[in-house]
Amino acid sequence: MTKLKHWPKKGVIMTYQEALDWIHGQLKFGIKPGLERMAWMLKELGNPQDNLKAVHIVGTNGKGSTVNALQTIFTQAGYEVGTFTSPYIIDFKERISLNGQMISEEDLLDLVNRVKPVVERLPKETEHENATEFEIITVLMFLYFGQAHPVDIAFIEAGMGGLHDSTNLFKPLAVLCPSIGLDHQAILGNTHAEIAAEKAGVLKNGAPFIYAADRTDVRDVFEKKAREEGSKTYELGRDFTAEGSSHSFDFTYGEQRLDDIALAMAGQHQVANASLAIMASLLLQKDYPKVTPRLIKDALAHANWRGRTEFLRPNLMIDGAHNNESVKVLIDLLQSEYADKEIELLFAAIDTKPIDGMLAQLKSVGDLTVTSFDYPNSVKLDKYPEAYKQVPDFKTWIKEHVTTDHKKLYVITGSLYFISQVRKWILEQSSDVQDLKDNI
C-alpha cells in the first residue's frame, strides 16, 4: 500500500465509494478532446506535471504491455516507478500504480478531495465545459506522481490519440509508439497517416521517438514530425532489431546486444513491444544506471500483463483483442503457438468497434460464439449477425463449454471491459482463490 509523503492531509469530504461514484459520474460528459480544461485545472493545482520525469507511450495496440515491461524493468532496478494505464481490469485503482501496486484507497480519496473543488470551479469560473472522467483521472495521476508522491520515473499511457489527449501536458523523457491501427476513427482520423499524426503530436522538446511501423505512410508522418521537433528516431527493424520468438529472441542496437531473451508473455507482437521497452531502457540508462542488460533480461522474463494472452486455467486464455489489428495479432499467436489445439472462442465487444471484420477473422481459427455483457454500449445479442452462435452470458458459456480437455484451448476475447468482468468472475470461482488473488 502506498502512503503520501510530505504532503499535509486535508479533511475528508467524502467516503472512498462516494469518490468513485463521483469520478464515474463524469462519464455523462463524454469524450471531449482538447487540453484547455486540463491546463486550467493543473494550473490551479500548481502544475504538478512540470515536476515529472516521465515517458509517454502512445499508439493503437501494445501500449499496456509496453508500459508493463518498462515498469517491471525499472522497478526491479530499484527505482520508484509510477504508471498510468487504462482501462483497469479488476480494480479502478490499477490505473494509477506505484511499483506495480495500485494506489491505496486512502491516497486516492485524499487526491479526490483536493481535485474535486477545482473540477467544480472549472465551468463556473471559466468558459470551459465540465471536465470529463478521463481528464479528472489524469489530473489525479499528475497530482500524485508530480506532487503527492514524487517518483523517480513514470510511464504514462495516452488515453486516446496523443496531440489532444489529456495526458499531453508534460515534457517526456522519451516517446514510444508500438503500433498504429484504425481505431477511434471518428475522433482521430480516417487513415493510418491521420491517426499517426495525432499520436506523434505528443513529441516535444527533442524527446527521442522509439517506434514500430509497418507502413510507409505512418513512417513518413513520424519522421516528419520528429524532424520538426528535433527528435531523434529509433525504428524497430531499422535502428534496432529483434530476431526470434517470445521463447527466445536476440536484441541488437549498434554494438549492444542482448541474447536469448525469454518473455513471460507469448506472441511475436510481445517481442516487438518488449524491444521498444529495451530500446527506451538503454537510452535512459545514462540517467538510470541501475538498469543493466542483465537486469532487463531478467525483468522481461517476469513481466506479465493481466488480460492480455493471460491463462486463468491451463487451457483457458483471456485476451483483450478489441479492434481489427489486435484480433489479427491474437490469431497469429493462436496459429503459431497452438496449431495443435482445437480452439473454441467466446467474443463480446462494444458498439464502436468494427464487429463484422473482427468476427470474420476470429471464425477462421475456431468455433466462435458471441455474447453480450453488462456495459452501457456493449453490443447486444440481437445486433450480432445471425450467422454466429449466441449465448446469453459468459458464465453460461464457461459452465457449458470449458472442460479440462487439454486438446482444446478456450479463448475469451473482445472488449477489455468484457475481459475485466470475465477475469474477476473466474478468479472468484476458483477453488484456489487466494493464491490467484495474490497474483492479481
pLDDT of residue 431: 52
Report pLDDT for 375. Answer: 87
Q: Which of 107, 86, 81 is nearest to 2 (CA)?
A: 107
Please list, residue by residue across 134-157, b when 16 or more beta carbons sit within 10 angstroms of its beta carbon and e when fewer do. bbbbbbbbbbbbbbbbbbbbbbbb
> What pLDDT shows up at residue 2?
45
Beta-bridge mates of residue 389: 369
pLDDT for 249-274, tens place per residue? 999 999 999 999 999 887 788 899 99
**Cβ proximity of 231 and 206 under 8 Å:** yes
Q: What are the residue ranges of helices labelled H in 305-393?
A: 324-337, 355-362
Chain position carrying cell 503520501: 4
Q: Give the integer Cα–Cα distance in Å for 410 and 342.
A: 8
Distance CA 152, CA 280 (A): 15
Residue 159, pLDDT score: 85
pLDDT at 28: 64
Q: Can you list the residues of the chain whose pLDDT is less than 70?
A: 1-13, 28-33, 181-190, 431-440
Residue 350 has which C-alpha cell?
462494444
Instruction: Report the pLDDT value the prediction gives residue 246, as an integer from 0 to 100.
Output: 82
Q: Is 291 helix (H, G, I), strand (E, B) or coil?
A: coil
Q: Please report the DSSP string for 161-223 in residue order.
A: -STTSTT--S--SEEEE----S-SHHHH-SSHHHHHHHHHTT--TT--EEE--S-HHHHHHHH
Closest CA to 40 of 110, 135, 151: 135
In 3D space, the residue among 363, 306, 358 whose CA is nearest the CA of residue 181 turns out to be 358
Three-state DSSP class for residue 227: helix
Burial state string for 1-29 with b = 16 or more CB within 10 A and e = fewer than 16: ebebeebeeeeeeeeeeebbebbeebeeb
**C-alpha span between 187 and 167 (Å, rounded):** 16
Residues 133 and 418: their CA atoms lie apart, in Å, by 20
Using CA atoms, how far apart are residues 291 and 37, in angstroms rounded to an integer?
37
| Cis, bond preceding 87 (omega within 30 deg of 0) | yes
What is the rounded CA–CA span in Å between residue 395 and residue 368?
A: 16
Are the beta carbons of 290 and 78 closer than 8 angstroms? yes
Relative to beta strand 248-253, strand 256-261 is antiparallel
Q: Three cell numbers at 55?
A: 515517458
Specify the pLDDT at position 189.
Answer: 55
Q: How many CB atoms lie within 10 A of CB 364?
A: 10
